[in-house]
Structure 1
């Protein structure tokens, strides 16, 4: 199996230090970031100070694990120094040295200049972020690069390109790809026109970039598709053979071409196969996206997904396109059979590597587990629950809510106390919605005495999260719903003394938020008191009901008078406040002051 044999074991990335194995999603994220930060810090010192790491004790010797020098070794102004800066990805230093070479009258070869253009257009005229630098959001980085290239007319790439005494297709290719990458679409097409005017032939990379930019050059869907077809026709005329990325660019652009995308996307896949080009996972993901957007939710998507899975069944893929890792996020329909087939495909060969980083893995398993909870019997859900958690997936609070709903659907609420232990271990015991939903399920209907007793123990454990020491801050704040549900659960288990303690302390402190409509709760309370024939508690309950101005108070008084033998002191102390109550018996929450 492609996942661990022991589902309770930690992921393989945590095997080096079992003591620090995470137990919650927060710990998982902290551990993963700390581990990666440690690697980056070690690599920084090894690469920055290689002279301190000259001795190699490793057996066998592994060259790729040896330190790489990132320090500049050539100080002179020469083409060799420029090549060194390009190889070390020192963008600004390479541009400065190139300018110095031109000022000195030194001619730089075409190949080196093209490599410099490649470097500049790849990183947007900025030095790449080093691994030891703070993480910067991808959106912010791309925005900086787009603004730089779109609004600086004479950026380094265009300036160097204009100074080149001779240019070839590689030169134009670097500039076009850079312009498309950072949003200068019109400039990219103008540069392509300039290439044709200079009687040069574009390479496949230029066409791939222009095809991906085509939807941004036209407003109407049919005009966008016509532009794509025109580019493909020009490829054929210039005898440029398309590759897999070419067709993927067409399919990705089709997603922005409206209704005509459905028929055309299938033709594109057919053309790929006719040319002997095997589609990648990204190709199929684009097709699924086209059909999912164009079709209604109940038609089209499931059928095309089935056809795709039939074709991919039993195949192992490797990364060929940056969008390959999006394929396994196609679990948007409610077809459990298809979900199982996608999950089985994930286990074929090395396909699991295309699932992406830990964040993407969490999204995938979250969707898969959500489908299981909605569509499968609870026994199947629990089987997968034991296999996935925590070895492969740390569920969030929504995932645990899905599990509670599955327990409710198949009438297995008796398992809630066991799930509560997992909720606490996963660190979700501070999620108000999750805790209150669990309490609501346990309080909704009476169970067998054994189950009811386990519910009561669970409710007392939940209560400890609300009520802590004087200096300790409670994890949760009392609400009318949680207070009433815990009381109902304890009453059903005949833990009356505990309930009285809760009401005498917490309920009175939170009288403003008490739900005045919980009349049935008061009746249950009185019934529990009747079992022990405690007239004093009955009188105390009457006082509590009257203090909240509950409409059921007169009924409670009548029932207490009929079912309990009251002393004169209890009669005088217990009913003296009723006649002077300011509430008229309304159960409206606005009457509870």
Structure 2
């Protein structure tokens, strides 16, 4: 019975081996160009693993509206805010870190796989086809190993840990000279720290906004200096390593002393050593004149010893000059350096041009158009290659110059065309620098470009390529307001919600102001969208009773819409003719919030604090505490008054004519309680349509005492009379009468709505 099972399995295994061998033979191509039958196939072209994909991608070009490849290509999963993009990228990288931890700490799980192809030899850590070394478990080094990681085994070198390679050796003296110099170079390059991993790009990208400290961080008296002291005789390689390490970590004075010591011994220093000395020459001298002389002396010393400069020499010189400040003298020095290096055939790189922009285009300096000359030089080159890490600073700095210094959108478009040419986009840098680049680009386009070109740019970049920050979004709102784009302004509210800016009150209020200014020029469909957006703004962020109770203990109060923003919502949502339109609910809610939150706003809030302090000094701590509590409540609830009360005063008359007397009365009372002169005319203009009386009859009614009209007036009309008397006499009506009138008015208004 078992033979019936084993034979088919063996035959299947044998057939699999045959197919595998046939496939391998079929992939072999003739390596010569001649054959016996006269057919000469072309020689085989070695292809990389991604050559076909790159060829296919070149036929279609990049799609700026598509999400980044590191995000899932699903509209429900693509992050559309800066916070979500950052969280998504870092969480994915955290998952990879967890996988690496499992691989490194449980390497026995990845030794081999039983389901590998039959022809594959079973070897440890050979569990994929093709083999990928980065995914395989790392080898484990023991105490007898010769290869060690720098952070763990620095001290073992000094104590003889590497002496196993030389059996008769003891300590550092047993280590060969070449090995000791290479280890010294490693120590100097990393300053005795663990090298940054090249795997975790997202963490480095989102942490790159931290500026580098230009301070002496070299480990004085550390292992590098001990190994350098143990090398005898000291060679040029040892001096070059220690000097470059000290200069890289800003131990400038000792680096120059060791350089002079090496020169006195007749040792030849490399060009890279002089470049590192030039980059920190400013730490040795004080003042522009002495620093300039030191820079020229170092260049003259290079020429004296026959050391040929390179592109890094020019970059190091300009880096030092740009760090010394500004002024015409330094600018002339930089131009002189640029001209002399060009005479010897050295063209400046992106880093050199970056430092030139830093020197010439100061934030508060005079406007200097050096960028056009730089772009002309870069446009004439076939390709741009990154040589130094600071090369990625050029494009973001140049776009910042276009936006803030030159304010020239044509120059910005020219720079962007250069960035999109060929493979230059990789020079934009990491995700943080890319965001800064587009921030400047969108800002200068909103301020300087035509409206159609700006909207086209926004449709291309937002939101997959770039999510605008609040300051940039405010510039976008201003541009849409000037262009009268009501539909885009209505859609901007949904973008604020998606981008995570909906709780930024200043930005929302700016959007409402733009909606109001453009509203009257729009068609009915756009007006309906604008009203819906305004109503949604009012209802957004409303807290439940439990959430309100939780936030009472927080020290930072929740930001509230100002009285002007509520006025804008009332203006927008009251422009309807249908009495049953849902927009009236937003108008009623906004009117209630106006009277609840913005009544009795002090003209001088600082006077309350002064009164509390004076009361406490007079021995009345209880009263002082009450005044202080009132000031705190006012700071949390009072949200100002409308900047244009005339616009709010025009709403009640139209609201009463559309069958909403309760809302009209509440708005007029709000104007009267805050002392606006418009309350007098507003109350008179609303009473006429409400009571169906002429103007003379309304004036006679206003002159009649309030008590004799208590039971004969509509509740909303009674509130209007109270508002009129409050606006004209300044005497507030009795609290009981106001409360009953308000409740009657509200109930009457609700019955009218029904």
More moved, 503-512 vs 179-188: 503-512
Match of 1:485 in 2: 568
Write the mapping of 1:265-414 to structure 2, written as runs, cut at 5 A. Answer: 265-293=334-362, 296-298=365-367, 300=368, 302=369, 304-313=370-379, 315-329=382-396, 330-331=398-399, 332=401, 333-414=406-487
Matched position secondary structure for 1:459: helix
Write the mapping of 1:59-78 to structure 2, written as runs, cut at 5 A. Answer: 59-63=129-133, 65-67=134-136, 69=138, 71-73=140-142, 75-76=143-144
Q: 1:47 to 1:195 in 2, by over 3 A?
A: farther
Matched position secondary structure for 1:349: coil
Match of 1:590 in 2: none
Q: 1:533 to 1:323 in 2, by over 3 A?
A: closer
Given that 1:48 and 1:69 are in contact with CA atoms closer than 8 Å, whether structure 2 keeps it comes out as: no
Equivalent-residue separation in structure 2 for 1:165 and 1:135 (angstroms): 42
Q: From 151, 159, 179, give the equivalent of 2:246.
A: 179
Given that 2:672 and 2:724 are in contact with CA atoms closer than 8 Å, whether structure 1 keeps it comes out as: no
Matched position secondary structure for 1:255: helix
Tell me how far 1:456 sits from its aligned partner. Answer: 0.9
Tell me how far 1:60 sits from its aligned partner. Answer: 3.7
Equivalent-residue separation in structure 1 for 2:510 and 2:421 (angstroms): 39
Within the alignment, does 1:427 sit opposite 2:496 as a pair?
Answer: no
Q: 1:145 to 1:108 in 2, by over 3 A?
A: farther
Q: 1:260 to 1:377 in 2, by over 3 A?
A: same
Match of 1:565 in 2: 691
Match of 1:467 in 2: 542
Q: 1:423 to 1:577 in 2, by over 3 A?
A: closer
Equivalent-residue separation in structure 2 for 1:377 and 1:144 (angstroms): 42
Given that 1:91 and 1:119 are in contact with CA atoms closer than 8 Å, whether structure 2 keeps it comes out as: no
Equivalent-residue separation in structure 2 for 1:575 and 1:342 (angstroms): 63
Equivalent-residue separation in structure 1 for 2:666 and 2:306 (angstroms): 94
More moved, 195-204 vs 310-319: 310-319
Given that 1:456 and 1:493 are in contact with CA atoms closer than 8 Å, whether structure 2 keeps it comes out as: no
Q: From 156, 159, 171, give the equivalent of 1:99.
A: 159
| Greater RCO, 1 or 2 (C-alpha within 8 Å, sep 6+) | 1
Q: 1:190 to 1:294 in 2, by over 3 A?
A: farther
Q: 1:578 to 1:391 in 2, by over 3 A?
A: closer
Given that 1:7 and 1:390 are in contact with CA atoms closer than 8 Å, whether structure 2 keeps it comes out as: no
Matched position secondary structure for 1:14: coil
Larger Rg: 2
Given that 1:48 and 1:70 are in contact with CA atoms closer than 8 Å, whether structure 2 keeps it comes out as: no
More moved, 492-501 vs 574-583: 574-583
Unpaired runs of at least 5, structure 1:
587-593
Match of 1:155 in 2: 222
Given that 1:465 and 1:476 are in contact with CA atoms closer than 8 Å, whether structure 2 keeps it comes out as: no
More moved, 469-478 vs 224-233: 469-478
Equivalent-residue separation in structure 2 for 1:533 and 1:48 (angstroms): 76
Given that 1:212 and 1:253 are in contact with CA atoms closer than 8 Å, whether structure 2 keeps it comes out as: yes
Question: Paired residues, what number?
Answer: 570
Tell me how far 1:37 sits from its aligned partner. Answer: 2.7
Q: From 643, 648, 653, give the equivalent of 1:527.
A: 653
Within the alignment, does 1:11 sit opposite 2:94 as a pair?
Answer: no
Given that 1:542 and 1:557 are in contact with CA atoms closer than 8 Å, whether structure 2 keeps it comes out as: yes
Given that 1:549 and 1:583 are in contact with CA atoms closer than 8 Å, whether structure 2 keeps it comes out as: no
Given that 1:47 and 1:68 are in contact with CA atoms closer than 8 Å, whether structure 2 keeps it comes out as: yes
Q: From 493, 499, 509, give the equivalent of 2:596.
A: 509
Match of 1:591 in 2: none
Given that 1:44 and 1:132 are in contact with CA atoms closer than 8 Å, whether structure 2 keeps it comes out as: no
Given that 2:652 and 2:668 are in contact with CA atoms closer than 8 Å, whether structure 1 keeps it comes out as: no
Given that 2:243 and 2:255 are in contact with CA atoms closer than 8 Å, whether structure 1 keeps it comes out as: yes
Q: 1:48 to 1:458 in 2, by over 3 A?
A: same
Q: 1:138 to 1:356 in 2, by over 3 A?
A: closer
Tell me how far 1:43 sits from its aligned partner. Answer: 3.5
Matched position secondary structure for 1:266: helix
Given that 2:353 and 2:394 are in contact with CA atoms closer than 8 Å, whether structure 1 keeps it comes out as: yes
TM-score normalised per structure 2: 0.69
Match of 2:672 in 1: 546
Q: 1:453 to 1:585 in 2, by over 3 A?
A: farther
Equivalent-residue separation in structure 1 for 2:197 and 2:669 (angstroms): 70
Give CA deviations for 1:394-439 in whole Å, capped at 9, x if unaligned.
2222222111111122232342112222222222212212111000
Given that 1:40 and 1:132 are in contact with CA atoms closer than 8 Å, whether structure 2 keeps it comes out as: no
Matched position secondary structure for 2:292: helix
Tell me how far 1:579 sits from its aligned partner. Answer: 8.2
Matched position secondary structure for 1:492: coil
TM-score normalised per structure 1: 0.86
Unpaired runs of at least 5, structure 2:
1-56, 113-125, 164-168, 552-557, 600-637, 693-710, 732-754
Within the alignment, does 1:215 sit opposite 2:290 as a pair?
Answer: no
Equivalent-residue separation in structure 2 for 1:296 and 1:141 (angstroms): 23
Match of 1:458 in 2: 533
Give CA deviations for 1:61-91 in whole Å, capped at 9, x if unaligned.
455x353636324x23xxx72xx12xx3x24
Q: 1:370 to 1:4 in 2, by over 3 A?
A: farther
Equivalent-residue separation in structure 2 for 1:397 and 1:417 (angstroms): 17
Give CA deviations for 1:458-495 in whole Å, capped at 9, x if unaligned.
10111111535444569852321221111121123456
Equivalent-residue separation in structure 2 for 1:131 and 1:111 (angstroms): 27
Matched position secondary structure for 1:527: helix
Tell me how far 1:5 sits from its aligned partner. Answer: 4.9
Given that 1:121 and 1:157 are in contact with CA atoms closer than 8 Å, whether structure 2 keeps it comes out as: yes
